[in-house]
Amino acid sequence: MPNQDAQRWNDRYARDGMLWQARQPRQLLLDFAHLLPAKGLALDAAAGVALHGLFLAERGLHVIALDVSEIGLRFALESARKRGVWLETAVYDLSHPWLPTNVFDVIVNFRFLERAALPVYRRALKPGGLLFFETFLKTEPNQDYPDHYLNPGELLNAIGSLEILHSAVEEQIKPDSDKRKVTEQIIARKQF
C-alpha cells in the first residue's frame, strides 16, 4: 500500500506531469555544470520526473533516479526514451535511506529535505564526488510543515567534512504575490 507522500505525488504528477516535464533543471545545476565529470555514476534523489537526472544523462553520466512517485518516474523514463539517453529508475522512499558506500560521482537533491539522507549521501559519494543540494530555508517561526524546511546554518553543519565549492541563500518572490521562498544551496566535494 503506497504511503501518503507517494499517493500525493502520484496524484500531482498524474495531473501536472506534462507541466513538470516542461521545466528546466535548477539554475544551480546549469550554472555549475562545468564541475560535473564527463562520465561516472550519478544519483538523482527525489527525482520526480528526473529533470536533473536527464540533464546529467545527456552529459554522459549513468544516472539512477529515485523517487517515491511511480508516475513521476514513468514520465522520466518516457522523456529518457524520447531524448535517446539511458536512465535507471527505482521507486524508493528516502525517509528510510540506505545507499552503498563510495559509489556515486554525483548526487543531486533539489527542493526535497530528508535529514536522514544527508549523512547517507556523504557516505555514498566516491572520494572526489560532488553533492548538489538545494532546498527551502525556514524563514518564519510558525511555518507550515516545519520538517520540510532547513533551519539557518543546518545544511553547512550537516555536510560534515565535505569541501564546500559553493554556498548561497537565494530569495524568490512569486510574481503577483507577496509570498517569498528562500532556498539554501550548496555544492560540496568529498575529500580524497
**Domains in the chain and their CATH numbers?**
4-13+25-189 (3.40.50.150)
Whether the Cβ atoms of residue 129 and residue 104 lie closer than 8 Å to each other: yes
**Residue of 5 and 63 predicted with greater confidence:** 63
pTM for the full predicted model = 0.91
Pairing outcome for strands 125-136 and 104-110: parallel
CA of 167: how far to CAs of 22, 32, 35, 133, 153, in Å?
A: 27, 12, 14, 10, 11
Pairing of strands 163-173, 180-189: antiparallel
Per-residue confidence (pLDDT) for residue 1, from 0 to 100: 41
65 bridge partner residues: 44, 89
- pLDDT number for residue 181: 83
Beta bridge partners of 64: 43, 88
Mean pLDDT of the chain: 91
- Contact, 73 vs 67, CB < 8 A? yes
pLDDT above 60 (res 2): no
Asked if pLDDT for residue 176 goes beyond 90, the answer is no
- The residue with greater pLDDT, 23 or 74, is 74
Q: Regarding predicted confidence, which is higher, 2 or 27?
A: 27
46: Cβ–Cβ under 8 A, 6 or more apart, which residues? 66, 67, 68, 94, 109, 110, 111, 112, 114
Q: Inform me whether the pLDDT recorded for 172 exceeds 90.
A: no
User: Residues 79-124: pLDDT tens digits?
Assistant: 999 999 999 999 999 999 999 999 999 999 999 999 999 999 999 9
Give me the amino acid identity at 64: I
Distance, CA of 121 to CA of 139 (rounded, Å): 25
pLDDT winner (highest mean) among 20-24, 46-50, 156-160: 46-50
Instruction: Tell me the pLDDT tens digit for each residue of 116-169.
Output: 999 999 999 999 999 999 999 888 777 777 788 888 888 988 888 999 999 999
